[in-house]
Structure 1
Amino acid sequence: MLALLLLAIGHAMAALPAPVAPPRLPAVDALLDEATGRQGYTGAVALVIDHGRVVHDAAYGWQDLAHDRPMQRDSIFRIYSMTKTVASVAALMLVEEGKLGLDDPVARHLPEFSRLQVFAGGSATAPQLRPASNPLTVRHLLTHTAGFAAGGEGFEAVTQLLEQQRLPQAHNLADYTARLARVPLASEPGTRFRYDSTSIEVLSRLVEVVAGQPFETFLQQRIFQPLDMRDTGFVVPAAERARVVELTTMGEHGDLVLADEAHARQPGVALRPYSSGAGGLYATAADYGRFAQMLLDGGRYGRLQLLRAATVASMMQNQLVHTALPRPVTEFSDAEGFGLGGAVLLDPAMKGRTASVGAFGWSGAASTYYAIDPARGRVAILMLQHLPGGNDDLPRIGTAFYNRVDQALDP
């Protein structure tokens, strides 16, 4: 009887399919194996989804400088400015509900911005100010055309005034916007594209005021939970912190060192004292892949419709055509415009990309990248964890990664 039972178990085990290895694109492997070699990044995770099917899902190298912990596909990264697209989706949900309008004056919901002034000359100690002619709107926040001081030639004095408010030390988003509202604008709203974090922090405060709940709660209930983004948040639970990738930067001797940040020394703690919609999230490649695929699918995830298809389409259109900018392109490249929460590719050849016109995406300060190509039905995500800076730093490989993906799938 026992022999028959063992035989039956043996047949059942033989009938089970062998574990399927995650799919790989050899050309992408070659690039990232080299990039995470002895003189490169500590490690990487890459995820590619083509027409709803995962075609590449791989980890490379190590999570740590000591090379004790191999990188895993579910390793957790600080995604910094890739948070901005998430915050933009949150605001657009409220637009769809009629609680916000893209052309609403921000002061309608945040009275501290009701008497905006524009810097008209002078110095930080004796500034010359004039009342703003244009109202600051929600659209300006989403497209980085609000006019807040964010550096640049000719804006040194007003940038100094901004720095005096010590925004990164704000206790919460309400404190952040209160401090920011004390600073004059550098330019009239809608007349200058200047990428920065202040606009999206104000947008995040708008979300919690209009929704009537903390910003992080809104994200959890309306985005992370529906999309099963279990490893995405402003703080990593203590039990999961061993999965957080170490944050490196280039040392003075040309070697990688741990970045001088509290959250680098204590991986998993909050990146800011407040819930930063501009750059505060941790996430995995898989979590962000579901978020990006939802956008590619016109706001749908399974049976859930998080955003209307028309809203997502507007996110991926160049919104700078609706401003008073002399030319509707970003400060970074004439090949890119900007939508609602990310860059829109206008001229792939000029940008050195093989993507389609209209490809949408953004990156994070610590070398994380995502791109959505609606024309090709494709999502590409690359997660590294390195803060660039200084001479002879590691090469930026985001564009090379995207192009390898396209070349592998569209030879």
Structure 2
Amino acid sequence: MNVVRLLWLSLSVVLWACGGGASSDSDGGTTADAGSDGGSTADAGNPIPDAGTAWDAVGALLDARVADAGSDKVPGLGLAVYDAQDRKVYEHMVGDFTPDRRVAVASSSKMIAGAVIFDVIRQGLLSLDSTTGEVLGWTGDKAHITLRHLLSFTSGMQNEHLCTLQPDLTLAECVAIIATTPQVAPPGTRFDYGSTHLEVAARMAEVKTGKTWNQLFRETLANPLGLPPEVTYFTLPRKAQGTSNPLIAGGLRTSMNEYAPLLALVFHKGSYAGLVRGTPELFDAQTREPYPGVVIGNSPVKDLGLDYRYGLTAWLHCDTPADGCGTISSPGAFGWTPWMDRETGYYAVLGMQLDRNDEGVVGFSVDLMGDLQPLIRAALGH
């Protein structure tokens, strides 16, 4: 796993901007109430008893990694694993972390934002081919940017802008500023990981629905899944500040128990807990790299000689990204790392909120994810 560790160490530099707020911020007393996942059907309260030594190996690895890192760097973390029937088949907490502790999940917000936008598409208000020219009135080269470009970070725009971190703006105002910046490349020709793409995509959804992003998130996912108002998108999520200009790429605050039903909906390709959100075709498209021939610009892999690719708001974990991957993930700058393995039949949340000033945070969490995967597969009988 040394190569993977190096890969994600480099990604931590990119991901930090998607978390918002100062790294020394406290959680501000916003611990979630127990059982706050409300009407969701994922079993957040009563894990199935451990299946003997197979799961013991998972717990031992978690304990060992926290001990090796030291309590000053990793004061606590948790892992929850759900099977394809949405049963919590395993849960293990280390240190001071709990499944109800609400934290900033940074770039793990991206996959959830994708699910919201997929539902706007399902309603016929947008399509993956909708352009900024059609929806936002952009002109020139930027007018040809599609929603598909935005969700795959191939819009050709500059990948970051300081307006995404200004809580006194609205999303509309920030996107208007982004619209004035020069293009880096023509749409569909260059991949640049960053925040601006999803800001624009979310604004397109706002315009077409007549709702703010957080209204849309609440009506589409949060309310039907029984999530409390505190589960929302902020400009500065560690401080829980700013909701008029939410950081779509990294502003969500939630707990493990609250994130689980959101991840379940993605795992089940939009059909979960009596809800239908998005379409199976859109969730299948999420698992494929839409522009395999793009130049790789701002990416955590370009300096390592690795060909690690991106779909629609998710990283792809397979050797055939253009054809689709059974495993996808959405790791965040503070260590929070959700992933799903549809081939094995499970999804998991590795929960934590670490100090982003430690450049090894994302390397630590994604390295741990990679080492957990074969142990989880074995525990599930694969």
Please classify the TM superposition score into its range, dividing by the shorter chain length. 0.7 to 0.9
- Once residues 315 and 182 of structure 1 are traced to their aligned partners in structure 2, the CA distance between those partners, rounded to angstroms, is 29
Q: Which residue of 1 aligns with 2:344?
A: 376
Tell me how far apart the structure 2 counterparts of residues 172 and 233 of structure 1 sit (CA, whole Å): 15
Measure how far apart 1:282 and its partner are.
0.5
The within-5 A match list for 1:65-76 is 71-76=97-102
Give me the whole-angstrom Cα distance separating, in 1, the residues matched to 2:334 and 2:63. 19
Identify, as 1 or 2, the structure richer in strand: 1
**How many residues align structurally?**
320
Partner of 1:168: 165
What does 1:343-354 align with in structure 2 at a 5 Å threshold?
A: 343-347=315-319
Q: Is 1:215 matched with 2:187?
A: no
- For 1:309 and 1:392, the matched residues in 2 are separated by 36
> Within 5 A, what are the aligned runs for 1:346-365?
346-347=318-319, 357-365=325-333
Q: In structure 2, what is the Cα distance between the partners aligned to 1:27 and 1:304?
A: 35
AA of the residue aligned to 1:168: L
Partner of 1:181: 179
Q: TM-score, normalized by length of structure 2?
A: 0.75
- Encode CA deviations 1:211-266: one digit per residue, 9 max, x unaligned: 1011101110111111223362236xxxxxxxxxxxxxxxxxxxxxxxxx9765x5
- Cα deviation, residue 272, structure 1: 7.0
Please tell me whether the aligned partners of residues 309 and 316 of structure 2 are also in contact (alpha carbons under 8 angstroms). yes
Q: Quick check: 1:28 aligned with 2:53?
A: no
Q: Does 1:282 align with 2:312?
A: no
Q: Which one-letter code corresponds to 2:273 in the other structure?
A: G
**Aligned partners of 1:50 and 1:378 also within 8 Å:** yes
| Displacement of 1:32 | 1.8
Please report how far the alpha carbon of residue 145 of structure 1 lies from its aligned counterpart in structure 2 after TM superposition. 0.3
**2:78 aligned with 1:55:** no
The aligned counterpart of 1:339 is 311
Give the aligned partner of residue 354 of structure 2.
386
Q: Determine which structure has more spread, i.e. the larger CA radius of gyration.
A: 1
User: 2: distance between equivalents of 1:76 and 1:57?
Assistant: 17
Normalised by the length of structure 1, the TM-score is 0.70
- Is 2:78 the counterpart of 1:45? yes
Q: Of 224, 227, 235, which residue of structure 2 is paired with 1:226?
A: 224
CA–CA distance in 2 between the matches of 1:105 and 1:303?
32
Contact 1:86 1:277 in 2 (8 A): no
**Structure 1 partner of 2:147:** 138
Q: Describe the shift of the 1:304–1:34 C-alpha distance in structure 2 as closer, same or farther (beyond 3 A).
A: same
Within 1, Cα distance between the matches of 2:215 and 2:277? 16
Residue 97 of structure 1: CA displacement? 1.5
| SS in structure 2 of the partner of residue 363 of structure 1 | coil
Distance 1:368-1:21 versus aligned 2 partners, 3 A rule: closer
Structure 1 residue 400: Cα displacement: 2.3
Identity of aligned residues (%): 23
On the 8 A contact 1:58/1:73 being kept in 2, the answer is no
Match of 1:204 in 2: 202
Q: Out of 296, 318, 325, which is 2:294 matched to?
A: 325
Cross-structure match for 1:248:
none
Change (3 A) 1:20 1:188: closer
Residues 146 and 189 of structure 1 are in contact (CA less than 8 Å); yes or no, is this contact kept in structure 2? yes
Higher relative contact order (CA 8 A, sep 6+): 2
Superposed CA offset, 1:330-349 (max 9, x none): 6537453322220122239x
Unaligned runs of 5+ in 2: 1-44
Correspondence 1:247-258 to 2 at 5 A: none
